[in-house]
Amino acid sequence: MSLGQMLLGLLEAGPRHGYDLKHSYDERFGQGRPLHYGQVYSTLARLLRHGLVEVEAVEPGEGPDRKRYAITDAGVTDVAQWLARPEKPELYLQNVLYAKVVLALLTGRPAADLLDVQRAEHLKLMRELTRRRDGGDLADQMVCDFALFHLEADLRWLELTAARLDELAERVRS
């Protein structure tokens, strides 16, 4: 996820101070991982250097002067291009879980136990996400659904791997 493009997208609604951008980001996208002010201001400085934002106004305050940033035409173009570009689907071809299963089989450890423990961990997280989704607003619901669908795919893989464990053990050991 590109913080720069996300801040630019938020600035399209109108000029804002870094403080306001941080709070707007946290409200819409933070979901338990709020931005640090340093991230916001360093990103704004980079966007300023690249001509994607400009300082619209400088207002004196109790501390340092407060700058109000506005998106430039180049920034609008940058956001439009970013939004139009599809994200590369994430492939998990060299997954840590798979590596653990293979190493458990190679070392004579119980791979089925490893799969059971992992299944329990996935189910625990799925219950937490389901509670959060059910009590959340639309943004929480959508973010949690995204995560839940990925966890469901992981669970299907765990079940399939458990069903193929004897065959995999035979191939790994030969």
The separation between CA 126 and the C-alpha centre of its own chain, rounded to angstroms, equals 17
Are 75 and 146 in a shared domain?
no
Q: What pLDDT is stored for residue 93 in this prediction?
A: 57
Q: How many domains does the chain have?
A: 2
Mean pLDDT of the chain: 90
Q: How far apart are the first and last CA of the chain?
A: 42
Under-50 pLDDT residues of the chain? none
The last residue of one of the domains, among 84, 107, 132, is 84
Are 46 and 108 in a shared domain?
no
Q: What pLDDT is stored for residue 146 in this prediction?
A: 92
Are 13 and 68 in a shared domain?
yes
Whether 173 contacts 107, CB under 8 Å: no
For 163, the domain range is: 96-173
What pTM was computed for the model?
Answer: 0.69
pLDDT single digits (tens) 21-46: 999 998 888 777 788 999 999 999 99
